[in-house]
Amino acid sequence: MSISLLFSQERKNVVALEFVGHSRALFSANYERLFSFNEDSKILFSARTGVGRSPGYEVHGEHFKGVTSLPVVLSALYGKKHFIQAGVGYTALFSEDFIDTSLNPNVVYKKFESNVSVSLGYRLMLDSGLVCQAYPMIVFRDNPQKKFEVSFGVGIGYSF
């Protein structure tokens, strides 16, 4: 099976587990749809969504709430098996109002927070369906105390 047939006819869907990444959660489960405008093109586009979760935790007897997130990411990929990928994402985060006193300075979290992120990284997509990706990213946060941060994402998935 050629790589062009892989994406143009059969493998247009990807399910993946991701660590951190655009979801801003510790772990997320994602669905992605791949498409291209030309069978022989080295350029692919994708639209991805998912659900992320960072569990709550306790420090010195103080309990911090967990966070659920819903990311939406649009990406462009260039390559055939090894890809350079650039992405832009929007993430809605849901929790309860709380102050994380384990950080210095303390960080205030709201019930709803949104982030916009941009990433540039690497993706490997094998004929077997294995998909691996890693990327650094810049996150613009809707949090008055921490408006900007540099982060990363690592994921593994399966294309079908």
CATH of the domain at 107: 2.40.160
Report, as ranges of residue numbers, the positions in the chain whose pLDDT lies below 50: 1-9
Q: Are strands 112-125 and 130-141 parallel, antiparallel or unpaired?
A: antiparallel
- Number of domains present in the structure of the chain: 1
pLDDT digits (tens, 9 = 90+) for 98-143: 777 777 777 777 789 899 999 999 999 999 999 999 999 999 998 7
31: how many CB neighbours lie within 10 A of its CB?
Answer: 14
Contacts of 13 (CB under 8 A, 6+ apart): 31, 32, 33, 34, 159, 160
Look up the domain containing 17 and give its range: 3-159
pLDDT for the residue 67: 87
Question: What Rg do the C-alpha atoms of the chain give, in angstroms?
Answer: 17
Tokens coding 9? 């006819």
DSSP-H helix ranges across the chain:
3-5
pLDDT for the residue 70: 97
Q: E strands of 1-60, at which residues?
A: 13-20, 25-35, 43-54, 57-59
